[in-house]
Amino acid sequence: MPLTKDWKLDSTILKSPFRGLYVPYVPLDRNDTTYGFLENRGYCHYWNNKKVNKSKPYLRNKEIHFTKSYWLWKNELSFEINYYVNPTTEIGDYLQLETVSLLKHNELLSARITQFKNGEEFFIFENSVLNDKMFGKEEKTVDSILKKWKIK
């Protein structure tokens, strides 16, 4: 979903290019470049939806991961993570659908749905296609959830 005037850029963070990847400092040897400022850097924009009706399902926030390089032609959008919230659940406080999409190919990489109570994940949908495990590139499943929640 596109960013509109209802979205606020909360912060921009320098990160490793991939989520959860830790890259320890490795000293450069003489055969490598000593111009560290020329190397690509991974960043993440954290966006929050300022205008939502929290009594019905909504897109709460998104993360846009990108690489910025000294060499402009190497700048690239990497992936986007969207967090959808459905506050109408019988057991918990809300359901959360997390989707990860590759921006270069405009395709869904993975998705998962979890249920939260008091800010913590607590319940797994055992007898369903959806559980706390990633359910992969099932775009039809994600689309059907978003249609059911009346977001799409």
Residues 45, 79, 4: CA angle, nearest 5 degrees: 50
The pTM of the full predicted model, rounded to 2 decimals, is 0.74
Q: What is the pLDDT of residue 16?
A: 57
Please give the Cα distance from 22 to 127 (Å, whole number).
Answer: 35
pLDDT in tens, 13-26: 887 544 444 444 44
Comparing CA positions, the residue from 128, 125, 146 lying closest to residue 82 is 146
Domain ranges across the chain? 7-148
pLDDT in tens, 59-105: 999 999 888 877 787 888 889 999 999 998 877 788 888 888 888 77
Phi/psi at 7 (nearest 5 deg)? -100, 145
Please give the Cα distance from 92 to 104 (Å, whole number).
Answer: 36
